[in-house]
Amino acid sequence: MLIACLILAALLIAASVWMYKREQYWQQQFRQIATAAGIATPTDRQDALPARIARLLADSHELHRQEYLRKIFETLLNEIQQGVVIVDERLQIKFANRTIARLFHRPALQRNRPLLDEIQDHQLHATLQSALQNRRRVVGDMRFVSTGTNNGGITGRHYTLEAAPLPSTAEGGAWLMVQDMTDQVMAEQIRKDFVANASHELRTPLTLILGYIETLREGVDGDPEFIAKCLGIMEKHGQRIVRIIDDMLTISRLEGTSGILNIEPFPVRDCVQDAVDRLAPILEGRDTQVILDFPDSGGIINGDRFYWDQLFTNLIENAIKENPAPGLIVRVTGQWSPRSCTLTIADNGVGIPAHEIPFIFKRFYRGGRHHASGIKGTGLGLSIVRRAVEAHGGTIDLRSTPGQETVFTIRLPLSDAPSAEPDLRGVEDGAGK
């Protein structure tokens, strides 16, 4: 019994020694870690390590939060329509969004490289330098010229530049924002051209009408032939004024409140034939053919015939005026399927230059050939055509090969029209010879 007690006591002493040495070992490890972390040892301050660990964890969370916010900020800047670039005091790029690379036809702008190396345009460089040197916001304009671009007489792209130094709390540098103003510049130029064109278009017939009125007032010795001639000229120019005003009112209505269409079924072929008959005076004496190719029933659609009358009149008249040379053939074709119809107005004339095609349906746009050849018009005809097609839920496309052909293609859905024509057979009819 005594021996058992001695053995138990020895075991207890051994366990106590082992636990003491184990505690000393961990205390030594603890002090080494604390020293490496640069904080007070447990002998100086027992709670310093837990507090420091808590602070380190808080700092880590703050870094993650700032990184998350930075990514959100960059994502938003990449989605806006303005180009944005941030540079340091040496004008090296710290950030550039995707838009500014696209505006200057670059795949991307590399960070930590000089801005002038990435975008070789001294206007950007000078704007940022001025903002940094004067420590104030700078606003300016620039034109970025693209090879072979001609937007109705406006060459290249027009940008506004805005630069300012970064706040004093930042690391230094400046930001630059670039906005593409080409569409606004074009709209303003087209508006000015329209005012000039419309004034001329209205003044010329009014002047002639007033001149003949004055002549008739002075008396023409009862010459009925001369009186009839005067009245005919006055009527012609009066109709010209009415046409200009009608075009203005039509485009205004089409771009106004929706739901203005008077929808009813009608045969498209009859509508086209009416347009050809209306254009008979300008077809007289020309070597021009207008060929209609439609189903036997004439091709029925549901729509507002008033706008379709103007649509076909404008397209056919445009082809005739643009091609005064003999041998012109204008072919108007309609094809129907159960759910849609396709209408094409094609001519074998001089065609439209490729650089004008993107702008041909814009309001008041008149191509360079109009000014050179003296063709009269306000530039509203094709804009009315596009708006009328879109008002009926359709689309219109233009394809042109200079010197060979010009083809306008109208696609109109017929899902709500019970009178869609499945018959694709066509007949030809020459008119307006």
On whether both 216 and 280 belong to a single domain, the answer is no
83-87 and 174-180: which strand pairing?
antiparallel
CATH of the domain at 247: 1.10.287.130
Same structural domain for residues 79 and 162? Answer: yes
216 and 269 inside one domain: no
Region at 300 (left for phi over 0; alpha for psi -120 to 50; beta for the rest)? beta
Tokens of 85: 């670039």
The reply to whether 215 falls in a domain is yes
What is the model's pLDDT at position 333?
92
Q: Structural domain of residue 303, as residue ranges? A: 264-431
Question: Within this chain, do residues 331 and 395 fall inside the same structural domain, yes or no?
Answer: yes
Q: Answer whether residue 60 is part of any domain.
A: no
* 193 and 315 assigned to the same domain: no
Q: Looking at the structure, tell me whether residues 131 and 227 fall in a common domain.
A: no
Q: Is residue 99 part of a domain?
A: yes
256: tokens are: 């106004």
Same-domain pairing of 250 and 270: no
Q: What local confidence, expressed as pLDDT, does residue 429 receive?
A: 38
Residue that finishes a domain, picked among 180, 198, 228: 180
20 in a structural domain: no
Query: 12 CB contacts (<8 Å, ≥6 apart)?
Result: none
In a domain, 22, yes or no: no
Domain count, the chain: 3
| Domain end call among 210, 227, 254 | 254
* Same-domain pairing of 224 and 282: no
pLDDT per residue as tens, the chain (433 positions): 556 555 666 666 666 666 666 666 666 666 666 666 555 554 544 555 566 666 766 667 767 766 667 677 777 777 788 888 888 888 888 888 888 888 888 888 888 888 888 887 888 888 888 888 888 888 888 777 654 444 444 457 888 888 888 887 667 788 888 888 888 887 777 777 767 777 777 787 888 888 888 877 776 666 778 788 888 888 878 877 887 777 777 766 766 645 567 888 999 999 999 989 888 888 887 888 888 999 888 888 888 888 898 899 889 988 888 888 888 999 999 999 888 899 999 998 888 888 888 878 876 666 655 444 445 556 677 888 888 898 888 999 999 988 888 999 999 998 544 333 333 333 333 333 3
Long-range contacts of 172-175, Cβ-Cβ distance < 8 Å, separation of 24 or more: 172/88, 172/89, 173/86, 173/87, 173/88, 173/89, 173/94, 173/132, 174/86, 174/87, 174/128, 174/131, 174/132, 175/84, 175/85, 175/86, 175/87
Judge if 290 and 399 occupy the same domain.
yes
Q: Which two tokens stand for residue 333?
A: 């074709």
Same domain, 160 and 241: no
Q: How is residue 167 annotated by DSSP? A: P
Q: What is the pLDDT of residue 26?
A: 65
**Do 136 and 164 form a contact (C-beta atoms < 8 A)?**
yes
The structure tokens 């108007």 sit at 332
CATH code, domain with 389: 3.30.565.10
Instruction: Answer yes or no: is 113 within a domain.
Output: yes
The reply to whether 120 falls in a domain is: yes
For residues 304 and 408, membership in a common domain is answered with yes
CATH number of 90's domain: 3.30.450.20
Residue 55 counted as domain residue: no
Per-residue pLDDT at 41: 53
According to the model, what pLDDT value does residue 132 have? 87
Where does a domain end: 254, 277, 301? 254
Same domain (yes/no): 422, 275: yes
